[in-house]
Amino acid sequence: MCNPKWFLVLVAMVTLAAAADQKSNATTPPKKADRGAPSKQKAKRYFAERTDIPRDAFKDPSYKPARILKRVKPTRPSGLHGHYEVIVTFVIEADGSVRDLIVSSPSGVPKLDAAYVETLKKWEFAPAELQGKPVPSVMAQPMVYDI
Query: pLDDT by residue (tens digit) across 110-147?
Result: 988 999 999 999 999 999 999 999 999 999 999 888 77
Taken in order of first residue, the domains within the chain and their CATH numbers are 31-146 (3.30.2420.10)
Burial per residue of 72-81, b for 16 or more beta-carbon CB atoms within 10 angstroms, e otherwise: eebeeeeeee
Residue 47: CB atoms within 10 Å: 17
**Four-point Cα dihedral 88, 46, 93, 108, nearest 10:** -10
pLDDT digits (tens, 9 = 90+) for 73-106: 887 777 878 888 999 999 999 999 999 899 989 9
- SS3 at position 67: strand
Burial of 87 per CB tally in 10 Å (0-12, 13-18, 19+):
buried
Residue 45 has pLDDT above 80, yes or no: no
Which is it for strands 67-70 and 128-130: parallel, antiparallel or unpaired? Answer: unpaired
Q: How far is CA 101 from the centre of its chain?
A: 10
The pTM for the full model equals 0.67
List the one residue out of 127, 138, 117 whose CA is nearest residue 54.
138
